């Protein structure tokens, strides 16, 4: 029988500093002797464990993200159902209502992700979802530009904790090699949300117009909000916290879940001092790679701004509203398939750079075609390329971030929040690239997206060479034992920087993926 492991494994609360103290991996191994077990046992046990984790964590997070994206993007469908005319929106007021959501989103982003490391995700994330579901429902009752503006700002504020929190939570359960495919499955949410959103909106517009005295777009908000709130309640009972405090795993499964992560990113010494919240933020902002990823993700998210105006862009083909909404569906089906294939390839070949460069080239071609081609068939094909390219890149970039910053976890949490914070700022000004007066060609939007997509390609290539060079420096630590970080275990910042960090990564046989 394995002996009882004192400390983090036996404690019930889920503070991330317990996960961060990965020297517990050594203590777990002493108790269960996982390291000495045969490879066949690890493969079978990992497969069994991942089935349980995927069922409770990945599937629930993916459904929650689908509803998050549906609730923020349904404004585009509501526009085709008459919202703009009913509320008397003029000029760029619709664009402002689209944009203001991301102001609220950005305000709450970083504080929320730092709070997440101190509270239970199983409570924090569903509570946020319940709140944004209620706010989304309130949009069904607005009668003015001011009311819609306020609801959209609050919706962004309420949704802010979810995405970075979900990504961070997954990084505490899955190894680096497992994250890519699961991030892709998770980020399939937007494509599926736009697909189902188009179908739902078409059905509502076709059958509920005037029902009970309400316009169809108001019913759209009511129906989708009820689903959001209901799913939030379910999530309270299904979503797990961190591995060491999960009750639906056996003692051995909890121990193995923790040991896997500890073994994947390496182990710390028991006397090391954890970085404080502010130290973690400083580690994040002082790393040049953070800002390269920020710029990269900013470009990708700007290219995705088209999502919030996609029905209006498809409407330039000349079809009625219901047909237009239905025509958006095959685009998002193709985008979903392309996203999954790109992520599968990135995971299988452990490559990141080319899986960003190639999709962004597709985005450039799509945008250039939309602003230069007038024939209906080629324009519709170009719309496929616009959606597929940028959507494929997003989770590859996010996976690359998780792979590039293995320790400490609090630094990774801060970086994920910063990247999403500044990256999503592109949606604020990107929303003004698609005013109704720019239809049908949207020249400024297409040109801007094409240029910044090219910038993203350059950044990915530079990052590839930077990490390749960093791997050489890690390998060189074999002849520099004087940099062994164990000589200074109490310094909570310096041991995660420079040659001390490289020595730790060398000792763990860690190498960056690019």
One digit per residue, the tens of pLDDT, for the chain of length 514 reads 333 333 333 333 333 333 344 445 556 655 677 888 888 998 999 999 999 999 999 999 999 999 998 998 899 999 988 999 999 999 999 999 999 999 988 888 767 767 777 788 899 999 999 999 999 999 999 999 999 999 999 999 999 889 878 888 888 899 877 887 787 788 777 788 888 888 898 999 888 988 988 999 999 999 999 999 999 999 999 999 888 888 888 888 998 998 888 877 654 444 456 677 788 888 889 899 999 999 999 999 999 999 889 999 999 999 998 999 999 999 999 998 998 899 889 888 889 999 999 999 999 999 999 999 999 999 999 999 999 988 888 878 988 987 888 767 778 878 877 887 788 889 899 999 999 899 899 999 999 999 999 999 999 999 999 999 888 888 887 776 555 544 454 566 666 777 677 777 767 777 888 8
At 316, list the tokens.
């330039």
Nearest to 331 by CA among 301, 292, 370: 370
Query: pLDDT tens across 112-152, in order?
Result: 767 777 788 899 999 999 999 999 999 999 999 999 999 99
Regarding pTM above 0.75, the answer is yes
Token readout for 426 is: 């592109």
* Beta carbons of 235 and 125 less than 8 angstroms apart: yes
Among residues 186, 172, 188, the alpha carbon closest in space to that of 413 is found at 172
Q: How far is CA 245 from CA 6, 19, 127, 268, 411, in A?
A: 14, 10, 19, 20, 22
Nearest to 308 by CA among 105, 64, 130, 511: 105
Residue 59, SS3 per DSSP: helix
Q: Please, where are the H alpha helices in 144-187? A: 145-159, 162-171, 176-186
- CA dist 513 and 466 (Å) reads 11
Predicted local distance difference test score (pLDDT) of residue 15: 36
CATH topology of domain 44-241: Growth Hormone; Chain: A; (1.20.1250)
User: What are the domain boundaries of the chain?
Assistant: 44-241, 274-513
Residues 57/169, Cβ–Cβ less than 8 Å: yes
Reported as half-sphere exposure (CB side, CA atoms, 13 A), residue 416 has a value of 34
- 44-241 and 274-513 have identical folds: yes
> Residue 243's pLDDT is what?
87
From the centroid of its chain, how far is CA 73?
Answer: 16
Q: What percent of the chain has pLDDT over 70?
A: 87
Sign of the C-alpha dihedral computed for residues 318, 320, 323 and 327 taken in this order = positive
What pLDDT sits at residue 29? 56
* Dist. CA 309–CA 315, nearest whole Å: 10
CB-facing half-sphere around the CA of 411: CA atoms within 13 A: 25
DSSP letters of 5-62?
PPSGGG-----HHHHH-TTHHHHHHHHH-GGGS-HHHHHHHHHHHHHHHIIIIIHHHH
CATH number listed for the domain at residues 274-513: 1.20.1250.20
Question: Looking at residue 27, what is its pLDDT?
Answer: 62
Residues 6+ apart with CB under 8 A from 50: 178
- ∠ Cα 25 480 405 (to 5°): 45
Non-local CB neighbours of 440 within 8 Å, separated by 6+ positions: 316
101, 151 Cβ separation under 8 angstroms: no
- Tally of CB atoms within 10 A around 315: 21
Which segments of 208-250 does DSSP mark as H helices, in order? 216-238
- Residue-wise pLDDT for 282-301, tens only, equals 888 989 999 999 999 999 99
Q: What is the pLDDT of residue 360?
A: 96
Q: How far apart are CA 239 and CA 67, in angstroms?
A: 16
């Amino acid at each position: 029988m394995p002996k009882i492991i004192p400390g983090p494994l036996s404690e019930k609360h889920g503070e991330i500093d317990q996960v961060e103290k990965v020297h517990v991996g050594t203590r777990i191994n002493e108790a269960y002797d996982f390291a000495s077990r045969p490879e066949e046992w690890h493969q079978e046990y990992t497969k069994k464990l991942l089935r349980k984790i995927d069922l409770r964590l990945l599937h629930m997070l993916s459904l929650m993200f689908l509803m998050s994206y549906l609730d923020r993007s349904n404004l585009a469908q509501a526009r085709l159902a008459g919202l703009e005319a009913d509320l008397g929106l003029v000029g760029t007021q619709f664009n402002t209502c689209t944009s203001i959501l991301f102001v609220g989103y950005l305000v709450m982003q970083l504080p929320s992700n730092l709070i997440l490391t101190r509270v239970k995700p199983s409570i924090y994330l569903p509570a946020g979802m319940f709140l944004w579901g209620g706010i989304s429902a309130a949009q069904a009752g607005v009668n003015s530009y001011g009311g819609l503006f306020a609801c959209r700002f609050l919706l962004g504020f309420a949704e802010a904790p979810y995405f970075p929190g979900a990504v961070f939570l997954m990084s505490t359960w899955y190894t680096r090699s497992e994250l890519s495919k699961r991030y892709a499955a998770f980020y399939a949410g937007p494509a599926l949300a736009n697909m189902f959103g188009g179908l739902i909106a078409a059905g509502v517009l076709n059958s509920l117009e005037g029902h009970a005295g309400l316009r169809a777009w108001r019913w759209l908000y009511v129906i989708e909000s009820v689903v959001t709130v209901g799913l939030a309640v379910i999530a309270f009972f299904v979503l797990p916290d961190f591995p060491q405090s999960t009750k639906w795993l056996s003692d051995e499964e909890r121990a193995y879940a923790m040991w896997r992560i500890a073994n994947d990113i390496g182990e710390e010494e028991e006397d090391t001092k954890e970085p404080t919240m502010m130290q973690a933020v400083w580690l994040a902002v002082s790393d040049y790679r953070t800002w390269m990823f920020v710029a990269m993700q900013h470009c990708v998210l700007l290219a995705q701004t088209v999502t919030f105006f996609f029905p209006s862009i498809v409407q330039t083909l000349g079809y009625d509203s219901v047909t237009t909404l239905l025509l958006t569906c095959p685009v998002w089906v193709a985008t979903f398939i392309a996203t999954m294939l790109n992520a599968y390839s990135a995971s299988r070949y452990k490559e990141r750079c080319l899986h960003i460069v190639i999709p962004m080239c597709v985005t450039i071609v799509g945008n250039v075609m939309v602003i230069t081609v007038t024939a209906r068939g080629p324009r519709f094909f170009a719309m496929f390329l616009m959606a597929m390219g940028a959507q494929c890149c997003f989770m590859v970039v996010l996976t690359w971030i998780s792979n590039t910053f293995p320790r400490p976890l609090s630094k990774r949490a801060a970086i994920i929040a910063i990247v999403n914070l500044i990256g999503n700022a592109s949606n604020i000004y990107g929303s003004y690239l698609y005013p109704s007066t720019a239809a049908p060609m949207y020249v400024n939007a297409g040109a801007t997206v094409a240029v910044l997509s090219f910038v993203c390609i350059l950044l990915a290539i530079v990052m590839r060479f930077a990490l390749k060079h960093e791997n050489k420096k890690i390998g060189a630590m074999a002849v520099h034992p004087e940099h062994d970080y164990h000589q200074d275990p109490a310094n909570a910042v310096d041991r995660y920087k420079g040659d001390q960090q490289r020595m730790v990564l060398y000792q763990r046989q860690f190498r960056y993926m690019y």
